[in-house]
Structure 1
C-alpha cells in the first residue's frame, strides 16, 4: 500500500518548484482534490490560482490584500499551469483538456500532476513524483473506492472513544452507543468494520451505523460476554489482526498507535493510525510472521471451500 499524507504532498511540491515552467503566472486546480495541490503550489510561488470552471469563465479566486499588487487583468495571464493531485487513468486531465480546447489560443497551458502512476506519466506534461498502486491519500482516504477493501475500527475512527464514565458496560455505555457523534461519515462502503465492542452490543451498533448512513459489508465484533472478560483476554490488537488476515484486506484503519503497531506486526501488513496521522508498517519479524499467517489462512480457506463443496455434492 502506497500512502501519501498532506505533509508528503506539500514536501513533494516544495522540492519540485524548479519543474514549474519559468514565467508561469497562474495556477489552476482540477477540482476537487487538485485544488489542494494548486493552493499549496500557488502559495509557494506567490501566484494567484483558480479552479477550472473559474478559469473558463475568466475569473480567479480571491487571494487577500497581500496579493493585490500581483494581480492583473485576466487576459494578461499568459502562462498557465493546470495541476491535479494525482493522475491514474488520466480521465480527469483528459476531460479538462477537452473543455479548454481552443478556448484560449493566446495562452500557453501546461498540465501537471503531483503524483503519477508509472503507467500514466505520459498523461501530463510534467509530474513531480511517481506513486504506484495500490495507493491511498490522507485527504481522500474515507471517500475512496479502496475503502471497500479495508478494515476500519469504530471507536476513535468513526466516532470518539468512550470516557471511563461512559464505558461502564451498562446504561452509560448504551447511551454512548446510541448518541455518540460521528467523526467521519464515509461516502464509500467499508469492507469490514472491526471493533472490540462486545457482540451483545451488535443491535445498538448496527442501529447507530444505519442512523448515520455508514455503509459496510461486514461488522465483526468481539464475542466475549463482558467488559471484564475482554480486559482479561487483553487481545485487542490480536483480534483485529486476525480479522485483517481472514478477509485479506489491503489496509486496516485504526486509532490507537499501540494497537496499530500490534496489528501491523501480527498481520505483516500496513495499518493507518488516525491518532498519529501516519502509516504504521510491520517490523521485519512481524512481516515474516504475517506472511506465514496469510499463507496458512489461504490454505485453511481452500480446505473449508473443498469440504463444503463435497458436502453439497
Structure 2
C-alpha cells in the first residue's frame, strides 16, 4: 500500500520545483484532482493558474489584489505547464492532449504529473515522484472504488464519536444513533462497515446510513448483549483486526490511533488513522518494545551486582 497525503503532495512539489521547465509562465490544472496539485505549484512559483476549459477558452482564473499586477493578457503566455496529481494508465493525459492539440501554435506546452507509476514517466515531459500501485491518496480516498475492498469504522470516521454522556447504552445512546453528526463524506460503496456498536442497534445504524446516503455491502457489529459485556471483552482493536483478516481486505480505515496500532499489529496489514491523518503500518519494533525493555532491565541488574 503506497499512501500519499496532501502534505506528501506539497512536499513532492516543493522539493522538485527545479524539474519545472524554465520560463514557465502559466500553470494549467487537469480536472479534478490535478487542480489541487496545479494550485500548489502555481502558488510556489507565483504564477497564474487556469484549468483545461479555461485554457481552451483563453481565460485565466481570477487572482487576489496582490497578484493582479502579475497577470498578463492570455495571448502573452508562451510556456505553459499542464499538471495532474498522478498518472496511471495515461488515458486522462491522452484526452487532454487531444483537446488542446493545435489550439495555440504559438505556445509551448509541457505535460507533467506529481506521482507516476514506474512505467508512466515516459508519457510525460516531467514528473516529480514515482508511486507504485496499489496506491491511495488522502484527497480522494473516500470516493475511490477501492473502498469496496476496505473495512471502515463508523464512529469517528463517518460520524462523530459519542460522548461519555451519550454512551449510556440506553436512551441517550439511542438519540446519538439517530442524530449523530456526519464526518467524512463518501460517494463510493464501502465493502465492510466494521464497528464495535452492538448488534441490537443494527436497525438504528442502518437507518442513519440510509438517511445520509452512505452505500455499503456489509455491516459487521458486535454480537454481545450490552455495553458491560463489550467492556469486559476489552478487545475493540482485536475484533476489528479479526474481521480485517477474515474478509481479506486491503485496508482498514479507523478513527482511534490506539486501535489503529492494535489492528495493524494484530493483522499485519496497514491501517489508515483518521484522527492522526496518516497511514499506520505493522511495527515490529513497537511489538517487541516490551521484550527489549525486559532484556535491558535484566542486563542492567547483572552489571549492578
- The answer for the alignment partner of 1:296 in structure 2 is none
Superposition pairs of residues 94-243 of structure 1, within 5 angstroms? 94-243=94-243
Residues 217, 286 of structure 1: CA spacing in aligned structure 2 closer, same or farther, 3 A cutoff? farther
The separation in 2 between residues aligned to 1:249 and 1:101, in whole angstroms, is: 42
Distance of 2:258 and 2:131 partners within structure 1? 28
C-alpha distance after superposition, 1:181-237 (max 9, x if no partner): 211231110010000000110111111111111111111001111001101111000
| Deviation of 1:119 (Å) | 2.4
Q: In the aligned structure 2, how far is the partner of 1:203 from the partner of 1:190?
A: 18
Structure 1 unmatched runs, 5+? 289-313
What CA distance in whole angstroms lies between the structure 2 residues aligned with 1:245 and 1:129? 32
In the alignment, does 2:83 pair up with 1:64?
no
Larger deviation, residues 4-13 vs 124-133: 124-133
Distance 1:55 1:180 in 2: 43
TM-score (norm 1): 0.90
Residue 82 in 1 paired to residue 82 in 2? yes
What's the TM-score once normalised by structure 2's chain length? 0.92
Q: Distance in 1 between matches of 2:200 and 2:3?
A: 35
Name the SS of the counterpart of 1:119 in structure 2: coil
In structure 2, how many angstroms separate the alpha carbons of the residues matched to 1:176 and 1:193? 18
Structure 1: how far apart are the matches of 2:283 and 2:140?
Answer: 27
Q: SS in structure 2 opposite 1:82?
A: strand
Confirm whether residue 33 of structure 1 aligns to residue 25 of structure 2: no
3-state secondary structure, aligned to 1:128: strand
Matched, 1:9 2:9: yes
SS in structure 2 opposite 1:8?
helix
CA distance in 2, matches of 1:29, 1:121: 18
- What CA distance in whole angstroms lies between the structure 1 residues aligned with 2:283 and 2:49? 43
Long gaps (5+) in structure 2: 289-305
Contact 1:266-1:287 within 8 A present in 2 as well: no
- The SS at the match of 1:187 is coil
Structure 1 stretches of 4+ moved >4 Å: 285-288
The answer to whether the aligner puts 1:52 opposite 2:52 as a matched pair is: yes
1:267/1:286 contact within 8 Å kept: no
Tell me how many residue pairs correspond in the alignment. 288
Higher deviation after alignment, 120-129 or 17-26: 120-129
SS in 1 for 2:119: helix
1:63 CA displacement: 1.7
Question: Distance between the aligned counterparts of 1:187 and 1:276, measured in 2?
Answer: 22
Aligned-partner SS, 1:9: helix
**Aligned twin of 2:254:** 254
What is the CA–CA distance in structure 1 between the aligned matches of 2:69 and 2:184, rounded to whole Å?
Answer: 40
